[in-house]
């Protein structure tokens, strides 16, 4: 999969054109230029069953050094199961999982020394101030993290002297973020990290992740919210019912193949058909669809119509995703 990585370079300027905090994108680009083909995380046919019930099946993934890798799918698709298996919290049923070239079960401790993890739900010990918890967390790593804790707390505007149990969900989440980043990990694993953060804080959070990425950290970012994956990820794996159904470069997913087309014909159309078009909606003279295929075929088809208005634009990732999902379902 990473063999296709150099192709990402070419598409980067186009990522730059899409929305999102410019700061992050600069970071992402800087890193993309430096991509080596080094693999940080790799799974082969990784499988986990909880007794008889399905967790994940044959998950293949590869994350390159410096890459921000999105991991997306609906609730219960197996995102957390994958992450928990990678972290050694649960035991795989089959397959292989390696981080930094080390086995996730045998070399767990060495791996964890350079991994930062932010769970989706943040619970901590009762009766502890944030600073106590963070110091305890830092004590597991062989470096002095106190300056980093202060710095992160400053960025996130968190009062470290408050007791964690008295904090709002958002502030607890901030404790979790600092806890996951304080040792400047090489790989950051985020499991639905933004819940509970307000939009402003989400932005700060993404900037922070961007900066970490700029520093050289790779990121595995699981989410069910496409727009946030769209915001920072280089590539994205789509998981459904425990299986990875596709791994796409963000740029390709958006740029190369998909167009959102809408037009108004002079006369109402009874029906509109075109190979490569999906999610077609016809409402009198108004037609809209998502198109994937040769752009000339599209133009040729449209040229045969008498149009009043035409709009060809970048689809939202959400829209691609829906058409993609429905396509997979149809194929099945």
Partner 1 sequence: MNVYLFELRRAWKGALVWAAVLLAFLIAMVVGIYPMFLDSRASMEAVIDGFPKEFKAAFGVFMDDIFSFGGFYSFCFLYAAVMGAAMASSLGLGLFSREKRAKCMDFLMTKPASRGRLFFAKLLAALTLLAAANAAYTAVFTAMSLPRSGGAPAGWAVLAGSALLFTQLIILAASVFFGVFLKKVRSVAAGAVAITMAGFVLTALGNLLEDRASRFLAVYGYFDVNLALKEGRFDAPLALTAAAASAVLLAAAYVGYCRGEIRSV
Partner 2 sequence: MNILMRELKAGLKPFLFWSLGLLFFIFMGMTKATGLSGGGGFSELAAAFPKIVTAMLLMSNADIDTFGGFYSVLAQYAALLSAVYAVWLGGGAVARESIDKTYEFLFTKPRSRSGILSLKLLAALIYLTAYAVLNGLLSAASAAALRLEGGAGVPFWAFSASAWLTGLAFFSLAAFFAAFRSSAERGLKLANAAVLVSYALGVLYDMLEKGGALRFFALFKYFLPTELLEGRLEPLFAALSLCVSAAALAGAFLSFERRDLKAAQ
Q: Which residues bind partner 2 (CB under 8 A)?
A: 126-127, 165
Minimal distance, residue 191 CB to partner 1, in Å = 9
Q: How far, in Å, CA of 181 to CA of 143, rounded? A: 13
Tell me phi and psi for residue 22, to 5 degrees: -60, -35
Residues 6+ apart with CB under 8 A from 21: 203, 206, 207, 210, 231
Q: How far, in Å, CA of 140 to CA of 125, rounded? A: 16
Q: Which x/- pattern over 107-126 shows residues binding partner 1 (rule: CB under 8 A)?
A: -xxxxxx-x-x-xxx-xxxx
Tell me phi and psi for residue 94, to 5 degrees: -165, 175
Q: Which does 232 bind (CB under 5 to 8 A by kind): partner 2, partner 1, none?
A: none
Q: Which is nearer to partner 1, 32 or 187 (CB)?
A: 187
Q: Which of residues 29-88 bind partner 1 (CB under 8 A)?
A: 80, 84, 87-88
Total count of residues recorded for the chain: 332
What is the side-by-side strand order in the sheet with 39-50?
53-64, 39-50, 94-99, 102-103
Minimal distance, residue 16 CB to partner 2, in Å = 44
Minimal distance, residue 63 CB to partner 1, in Å = 18
How far does CA 293 lie from the centroid of its chain?
25
Q: Contact between 159 and partner 1 (CB under 8 A)?
A: no
Q: Which is nearer to partner 2, 50 or 123 (CB)?
A: 123
Q: Which is nearer to partner 1, 98 or 259 (CB)?
A: 98
| Residues in contact with partner 1 by the rule CB under 8 A | 80, 84, 87-91, 108-113, 115, 117, 119-121, 123-126, 136-137, 139-141, 179
């Amino acid at each position: 999969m990473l063999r296709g990585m150099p192709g990402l370079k070419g598409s980067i300027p186009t990522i730059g054109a899409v929305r999102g905090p410019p700061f992050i994108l600069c970071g992402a680009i800087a890193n993309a230029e430096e991509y080596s083909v080094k693999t940080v995380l790799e799974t082969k046919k990784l499988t986990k069953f909880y007794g008889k019930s399905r967790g994940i099946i044959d998950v293949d993934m590869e994350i390159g050094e410096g890459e921000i890798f999105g991991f997306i799918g609906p609730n219960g698709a197996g995102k957390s199961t994958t992450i928990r298996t990678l972290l050694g919290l649960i035991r795989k049923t089959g397959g292989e999982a390696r981080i930094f070239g080390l086995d996730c079960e045998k070399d767990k401790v060495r791996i964890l020394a350079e991994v930062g993890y932010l769970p989706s739900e943040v619970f901590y010990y009762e009766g502890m101030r944030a600073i106590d918890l963070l110091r305890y967390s830092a004590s597991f790593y062989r470096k002095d993290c106190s300056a980093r804790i202060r710095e992160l707390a400053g960025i996130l505007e968190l009062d470290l002297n408050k007791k964690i149990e008295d904090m709002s969900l958002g502030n607890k989440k901030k404790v979790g973020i600092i806890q996951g980043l304080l040792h400047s990990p090489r790989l950051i694993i985020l499991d639905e990290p933004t819940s509970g953060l307000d939009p402003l804080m989400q932005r700060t959070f993404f900037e922070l992740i961007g900066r970490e990425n700029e520093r050289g950290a790779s990121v595995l970012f699981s989410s069910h919210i496409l727009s946030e994956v769209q915001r920072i990820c280089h590539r994205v794996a789509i998981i459904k019912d425990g299986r990875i159904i596709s791994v796409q470069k963000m740029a390709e997913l958006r740029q190369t193949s998909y167009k959102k087309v809408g037009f108004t014909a002079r006369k109402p159309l009874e029906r509109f058909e075109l190979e490569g078009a999906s999610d077609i909606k016809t409402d009198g003279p108004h037609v809209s669809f998502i198109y994937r295929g040769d752009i000339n075929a599209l133009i040729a088809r449209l040229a045969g119509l008498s149009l009043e208005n035409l709009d060809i634009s970048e689809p939202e990732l959400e829209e691609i995703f829906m058409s993609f999902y429905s396509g997979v379902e149809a194929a099945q």
